[in-house]
Amino acid sequence: MTWHRVARSEELVEGEWKIVLVAGKRIGVVRREGACYAVLDICPHAGAPVCRGRLTGRVTCDDRHRVGYDPHAHTLRCPWHRWEFDLASGHGVAAIRQKLKTYPVRVAGADIEVQV
Ligand code: FES
């Protein structure tokens, strides 16, 4: 696994995907509330370009079955069938067992790097 420079830090605009080609893989990089995430731009369900999906928070339910919404639970909703994935771990939300491929991201000086 190698670190690859994918953007200058100031290029990464909050909530806007930057799509890069690294080691033959199409990877989306995005910043949400100061955190940077990188995911493979292929949905594990049926291959959609998942980074065209919507960035959202997440519906929650507590022990008393009260429904809420957590805007800080960074989530990506696939544009084709609306499956949702946690941006940090790639795990599917709710009963979705498939996992979105994610990559480590780091800030190195003024650069954003992804480990692929
Ligand atoms: S292709 Fe992404 S949910 Fe179906």
pLDDT in tens, 66-90: 999 999 999 999 999 999 999 999 9
In this prediction, residue 94 carries a pLDDT of: 86
Q: Which atom of ligand 1 is nearest to the CA of 47?
A: 1
CA distance 45 to 14: 26
pTM listed for this prediction: 0.93
CB of 114 closer than 8 Å to CB of 22: yes
CA distance 84 to 71: 14
How far is the centre of ligand 1, averaged over its atoms, from the C-alpha of 50 (Å)? 7
Q: Which atom of ligand 1 is nearest to the CA of 82?
A: 3
How far is the centre of ligand 1, averaged over its atoms, from the C-alpha of 49 (Å)? 9
Using pLDDT thresholds of 50, 70 and 90, give the confidence band for residue 46: very high
* pLDDT, averaged across the chain: 96
CA distance 23 to 87: 21
Annotate 36-51 with b (16+ C-beta within 10 A) or e (fewer).
bbbbbbbbbbeebbbb
Domains in the chain, start-ordered, CATH in brackets? 3-115 (2.102.10.10)
Residue 52 has pLDDT above 90, yes or no: yes
How far is the centre of ligand 1, averaged over its atoms, from the C-alpha of 83 (Å)? 6
> Whole-angstrom distance between the N-terminal and C-terminal Cα of the chain?
5
